[in-house]
Structure 1
Amino acid sequence: MKTWFITGTSSGLGRLLTEKLLDQGHRVAATLRKPELLNELIAKYGDQLWIAQLDVTHTQSIKSVVDKAFADLGQIDVIVNNAGYALFCAAEEASDDQIIQQINTNVIGSIQIIRSALPHLRAQGGGRILQVSSAGGQTTYPNFSYYHTSKWAIEGFCETLAQEVSLFNIRVTIVEPGAHKTDFGGGMVTAPVLEAYDQTPAGYVRRLVDSGTFPLTGDPDKTVQAMINVVDATTAPLRLALGKDAYTDIRASLLSRLVELDAQKELALSSIV
């Protein structure tokens, strides 16, 4: 059995992952903004569950919480960056504060969790880092420009990180779920709508989401179990796409980029000194 440190455990995949791990006998260090939301799990699992209040946008709190988790629990085998913020609007519609919140939560918060854990992981001889991203870290959908900004950014960080820490026996996997039947949609933050975007791709996607007809094909239970299973994989994948839409959309995006790159081969090579 392993000890897991997970952010954003109040709902969605983070809550489900916490529950499944506890049920399977693992220890979990769960962080969230409102610890009382896990009172039911504390009553059921007792010392198997360690809880701390944490808002990942408060950088100064992150190190103290991570340090305390390692001090209290000893070895922590898996770090899961799951806490997230989803801003759903066209690029022109967002406020400055919303943009900052998006970056602070999904990028800086995740980076600081990892930076705080790395000295402990190196000292104990290794560990695993699971960064929850999204299919939207490899492909894009209208009305999610700032969400994509954060996911593409954290994926670039984690891909680089994986190269830096592999010799310390620290493995990194970027988890890329597609659209799942969780409360993610209800937690999305919106902005005042500009009529100019009504008859654009942004407006079309907005209407799909508002009407409840945006396809949600991912099974949260199967996705969470895949995250647990990947930790035990002998060869850890750098990326783990989960969901039919994740596979299909990411593949289409990568192929499109490759076709465009190959079309520029002659021009690219002509610039050689």
Structure 2
Amino acid sequence: MTERTWFITGISSGFGRHMTEQLLARGDRVVGTVRQHAAVADLKSKHGDRLSLHLLDVTDGDAVRRVVTQAFADLGRIDVIVNNAGYGLFGAAESFTDEQVERQLDTNLLGSIQVARAALPHLRAQGGGRILQLSSVGGQAAFPGGSLYHATKWGIEGFIEGLNLEVAAFGIAATLVEPGGARTEFRYGGSQLGAWLEAYASTPIAQVHRMIEEATVQPQGDPAQMVRLMIDSVDQTPAPKRLALGSDAYSAMHRALTARLAELESQKETAFSTDFPAGN
């Protein structure tokens, strides 16, 4: 097993915490970002210098560049960048404040983009590396109440798809991780709801509010198992472009992709009819 150094955003809870624990337990080094040192004081006490901590809000582009640059300077080489920091914003699209919309986009989409952009010069200089980008089943399939969250995840998937084509020549590869529901703090601790609008009382939006407010539906996914597969994916060559995790993720994405392909196929004749005739 190769010892590696990992840079992981948002390690205080959820997948970030699970990944940090597993990596430190097997002897790897981790540079982790948090909003408060106290959230991971136990890990720091147990693992000492093998865990480096930086305070970071990924919505601050200048801070992202400063922290990433410092991490590479301190450690010399970082093998894997993990864009994990993020949260869910759920409810009717019209129910959010402008501030909620901007914060969701700044955190999940722009924050991930800025971390990747800040790391690229260093990854190129060292001759390569991996990026693990936490996306979601919501990056391939859409659900009512998730419009703003989907905007961030579909957006980051497009960014990573394009990025892979740009940086392959430098030995850099990125994997989109697409988990379904997992038993972390994400759904019932880290998620936010839009304001309740009575007009949506008889729509699926009501079910979304009820599920999050009552916190009674347990996700199927085991986060420890999911994280183990994320870590294992770094050993695969070539790097997988996507990593679907969870039976719910697989099923929802399969339905969505099948339906999209069928709709595209139905438009083939129309699409071709808009070209200039051959030879013109």
Q: Which bin holds the TM-score, normalised by the shorter protein?
A: over 0.9
Q: Alpha-carbon deviations, 1:214-240, whole Å to 9, x = none? A: 451111010000010000112211110
- Higher mean displacement: 202-211 or 231-240: 202-211
Residue 213 of structure 1 deviates from its aligned partner by 4.3
Cα shift readout 1:56-97 (whole Å, capped 9, x = no counterpart): 011110111000000101100000000002111110100000
Equivalent position of 2:110 in the other structure = 108
Offset at residue 101 of structure 1 (A): 0.2
Equivalent in the alignment of 2:248: 245
SS where residue 94 of structure 2 aligns?
coil
TM-score, length of structure 2 as denominator length:
0.95
Query: In 2, distance between residues paired with 1:209 and 1:233?
Result: 37
Which of the residues 34, 37, 45 maps onto 1:43? 45
Counterpart in the other structure of 2:201: 198
Aligned Cα RMSD in Å? Answer: 1.0
Aligned to 2:123: 121
Divergent runs of 4+, >2 A: 204-215
Point out the more displaced range, 198-207 or 36-45: 198-207
Q: Is the 8 A contact 2:183 2:218 kept in 1?
A: no
1:266 offset after TM fit, Å?
1.2
Distance in structure 2 (CA, Å) of the matches to 1:236 and 1:259 = 28
* Counterpart Cα distance in 2 of 1:269 and 1:28: 51
Q: What letter is aligned with 1:196?
A: A
Tell me how far apart the structure 2 counterparts of residues 198 and 18 of structure 1 sit (CA, whole Å): 41
Gaps of 5+ in 2: none
Matches within 5 A, 1:31-180: 31-180=33-182
Q: Quick one: distance in 1 between partners of 2:173 and 2:115? A: 15
The one-character-per-residue Cα deviations of 1:164-218 (angstroms, maximum 9, x if unpaired) are 0011000100000100011111211112200111111222233233333445111
Q: Which SS does the other structure have where 1:266 is aligned?
A: helix
Choose from 252, 261, 266 the match for 1:263.
Answer: 266
- The CA distance in 2 between the partners of 1:55 and 1:195, in whole Å, is 34
Identity across the alignment (%)? 53
Which residue matches 1:254?
257
The answer to whether the 8 A contact 2:4-2:78 is kept is yes
1:38, distance to aligned residue in structure 2 (A): 1.4
Q: List alignment gaps of at least 5 residues for structure 1.
A: none
C-alpha distance after superposition, 1:130-170 (max 9, x if no partner)? 00010000001111110000000000000000010011000
Quote the Cα distance in structure 2 between the aligned partners of 1:9 and 1:208: 26
Report how many residues are paired. 273
The two structures have a TM-score, normalised by structure 1, of: 0.98
